[in-house]
């Protein structure tokens, strides 16, 4: 069982359940010693089933700070955000980047609420996805790349475009010392899917982690929790780890992302 998780949501995002305190209590019960909340970043344009509302952000931060003090003898808590790299939303994102303890990059669209990365099917779309990852790394926008292979949810085949993207992200990870995530969320929780070239999880995907292993990219495990009870099972962690079996992964277990974020934020622009 992991002792640290930086990828935790709250019901404010519209697709998670439970109170903030229930997440903390379940994490303690599951043996965690360090827990980061990283709910989906708010934008002025609301999307109630996918992210917080802007007016909820102060209460989100206050709630985690209150729990941090209440449970300080049992677990260390941090408050962060899972953000997309949208250059057109830079003013809002810059504020969150500066105010939060840490931020993770979860690129769910290619632009705000348009071109869902769960629906990409063309090589040129993968290139644009990679461009946003690179922009985020160049600007020290985030502290790790969440589910870097989320763009393969619908992508029909592991082709040269996929292999090229995996290698590109692996290279960026090393160049910018930017950890990438082995995600234990919906990609494995929904089970294996049939694609044109065979059956696999939507993500994580082996081809990405082969590239990460070759380049010695730093890899963090993220549980991507949307329900407190998921802290109490290793089922989805084990499914994700099966994808990397036999690979020489540069694991960053119990990595203090918040401490690293203090230094990385100094380079943000």
* CA 174 – CA 90 distance, rounded (Å): 25
* CA 127 – CA 64 distance, rounded (Å): 37
Write out the chain's pLDDT in tens, 269 residues.
Answer: 699 999 999 999 999 999 999 999 999 999 999 999 999 999 999 999 999 999 999 999 999 999 999 999 999 999 999 999 999 999 999 999 999 999 999 999 999 999 999 999 999 999 999 999 999 999 999 999 999 999 999 999 999 999 999 999 999 999 999 999 999 999 999 999 999 999 999 999 999 999 999 999 999 999 999 999 999 999 999 999 999 999 999 999 989 999 999 999 999 99
* Residue in 241, 185, 239, 247 with CA at minimum distance from that of residue 211: 247
* Residue in 215, 210, 212, 190 with CA at minimum distance from that of residue 200: 190
- Kind of pairing between the strands at 192-195 and 198-201: antiparallel
Distance of CA 145 to the CA centre of its chain: 6
Please give the domain boundaries of the chain with CATH numbers for all domains: 4-265 (3.20.20.140)
**10 Å Cβ neighbour count for 231?**
24
Supply the pLDDT for residue 105.
98
Predicted TM-score (pTM) of this structure: 0.96
Supply the pLDDT for residue 2.
92
In this structure, what are the phi and psi dihedrals at residue 40, rounded to the nearest 5 degrees? -65, 130
Contact 264, 143 (CB under 8 A): yes
* CA 232 – CA 224 distance, rounded (Å): 13
Supply the pLDDT for residue 140.
98
* Residue in 182, 200, 198 with CA at minimum distance from that of residue 241: 182
């Amino acid at each position: 069982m992991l002792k640290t998780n930086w990828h935790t949501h709250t019901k404010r995002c519209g697709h998670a359940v439970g109170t903030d305190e229930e997440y903390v209590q379940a994490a303690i019960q599951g043996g965690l010693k360090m827990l980061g909340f990283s709910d989906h970043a708010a934008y002025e344009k609301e999307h109630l089933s996918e992210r917080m509302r802007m007016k909820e952000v102060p209460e989100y931060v206050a709630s985690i700070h209150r729990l941090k003090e209440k449970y300080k003898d049992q677990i260390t808590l941090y408050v962060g955000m899972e953000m997309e790299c949208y250059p057109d939303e830079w003013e809002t994102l810059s504020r969150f980047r500066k105010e939060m303890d840490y931020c993770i990059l979860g690129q769910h669209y290619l632009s705000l609420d348009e071109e869902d990365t769960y629906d990409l099917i063309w090589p040129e779309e993968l290139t644009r996805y990679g461009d946003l990852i690179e922009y985020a790394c160049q600007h020290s926008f985030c502290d790790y790349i969440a589910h870097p292979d989320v763009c393969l949810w619908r992508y029909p085949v592991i082709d040269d475009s996929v292999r090229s993207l995996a290698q590109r992200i692996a290279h960026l990870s090393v160049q910018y010392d930017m950890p990438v995530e082995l995600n234990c969320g919906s990609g494995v929780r929904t089970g294996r899917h049939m694609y044109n070239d065979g059956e696999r999880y939507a993500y994580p995907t082996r081809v990405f982690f082969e590239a990460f292993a070759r380049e010695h990219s730093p890899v963090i495990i993220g549980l991507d929790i949307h329900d407190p009870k998921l802290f109490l099972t290793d089922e989805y962690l084990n499914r994700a780890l099966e994808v990397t079996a036999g690979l020489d992964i540069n694991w960053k277990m119990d990595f203090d992302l918040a401490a690293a974020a203090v230094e990385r934020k100094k380079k943000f622009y």
